[in-house]
Amino acid sequence: MNNDVIQSVAPNTIVSTTDQKSSSQSFIQANTIESSVEEIKEKHIIPVFIKDNEPVISHTDFIQLTWDMAHEIYDKETILQPSVRLSHPVKGRIPEAKDKPAIQLLEHEKTLYYERMAFVIDIPTVYDDIDGNTLILSVGGVKAYNLDNLYNKKGSDEHFKVFIGFKNTVCTNLCVWSDGFYGDLKVKSIGQLKGCIRDLFERYHAQYQMNQMSKLVDYNLSEQQFATLIGKCRMYQHLPHSLKVELPQLCLGDSQIGTVCKDFYKDDSFCRNEDGTINLWRLYNLFTGANKSSYIDNFLDRNVQSYHFIEQIRFALKEKVQNWYLN
């Protein structure tokens, strides 16, 4: 990796042990609970393909594989323990307890797994600064069993989302873009998954992403422009399809746009300036902050879309061309 911009320091400079977890705050909030690799291994069953009873690639397999690839590619860096979030529990029971009322079930008679899982692994010794915010390299992914056809046999496509990008340590917002993201990775084996993760990590150029994001600091919206943008964002969801397809895709829902509007005035780190202006770096973080309320299965996709949405706003300001959201 080219480190002309990205700094790499000795592992013990920042943290002294890899027992430290990647996120002290949640990187995603909506309808999720915190968990750990150990808890998933010890307490959760593994779904199977129904036709042959063969197991899927489990949540822990996926996390472990990503962890191993991070250690292989960034072997001189400090790599923290995964931060894991789960949603959509699938409950069951052992056959011997099939006739028991639910309230009478003993712990060993219950079965559980979570349909959707997201995780982040931080590499804090690879970092840089934008507008006074320290950003650290992060890797991770999403596994949602609801995207797989579990009514088939082993060897059917299994779906994963994998990313490598940055986390803003001020707010734990993820900064992911398309060059560091596989949004619909389909594999038939754990070997294929390993190769795809390796390919993504090796091709990713941290310095280039950092350079592109740092350009957002140099462009500002007036309060009037911000108001126009928010209004157009609310209109976007109701546009006829023929008009919507011609516009930059808006990834956030109406309530999330409301959060962006509220935080424009109230966010401790990314609110407007005293004169009412806001630079695009702050606006981008308002978008990624609002995206934390997205469900696990579309969380990363919306994060990527947030960057490209703001980048198109920057392009319009730079080139002085029309953008529907500003005019």
Instruction: Give the DSSP letter string of 99-127.
Output: TS-GGG--GGGEEEEEEEEEEEEEEEEEE
- State the total domains in the chain: 2
Do residues 174 and 249 share a domain? no
Residue 206 covered by a domain: yes
Instruction: Give the DSSP letter string of 182-230.
Output: EEEEEESSHHHHHHHHHHHHHH--HHHHHHHHHGGGG-EE-HHHHHHHH
Do residues 140 and 263 share a domain? no
Residue 53 covered by a domain: yes
Do residues 277 and 206 share a domain? no
Do residues 41 and 144 share a domain? yes
Domain hosting residue 244, numbered range: 219-319
Residue 325 covered by a domain: no
Do residues 207 and 232 share a domain? no
pTM of the predicted model as reported, rounded to 2 decimal places = 0.90
Q: How many Å separate Cα 61 from the centre of its chain?
A: 19
- CA separation for the pair 207, 211 (Å, rounded): 6
Interval 270-324: pLDDT, tens: 999 999 999 999 999 999 999 999 999 999 999 999 999 999 999 999 999 999 9
Do residues 74 and 203 share a domain? yes
Which residues, at least 6 apart from 221, have a Cβ–Cβ distance to it below 8 Å? 229, 277, 278, 279, 280, 283, 313, 317, 326
Considering only CA atoms, which of 40, 55, 66, 37 is closest in space to residue 161?
A: 66
- Name residue, tokens 């990624």: 288
For the beta carbon of residue 202, count every other beta carbon within 10 angstroms.
12
Domain limit, last residue, from 146, 181, 212? 212
Residue 178 covered by a domain: yes
Residue 247 covered by a domain: yes
Do residues 88 and 182 share a domain? yes
Give the pLDDT of the chain (327 residues) as one tens digit per residue: 444 445 554 443 333 345 677 764 689 987 899 999 999 999 999 999 999 999 999 999 999 999 999 999 999 999 999 999 999 999 999 999 989 999 999 999 999 999 999 999 999 999 999 999 999 999 999 999 999 999 999 999 999 999 999 999 999 999 999 999 999 999 999 999 999 999 999 999 999 999 999 999 999 999 999 999 999 999 998 999 999 989 988 989 999 999 999 999 999 999 999 999 999 999 999 999 999 999 999 999 999 999 999 999 999 999 999 999 999
Domain limit, last residue, from 148, 177, 212? 212
Residue 2 covered by a domain: no
Do residues 102 and 199 share a domain? yes
Domain limit, last residue, from 212, 241, 273? 212
Do residues 138 and 155 share a domain? yes
Residue 324 covered by a domain: no
Do residues 203 and 225 share a domain? no
Residue 15 covered by a domain: yes
Do residues 188 and 256 share a domain? no
Do residues 169 and 238 share a domain? no
Query: 248 and 316 in contact (C-beta within 8 Å)?
Result: no
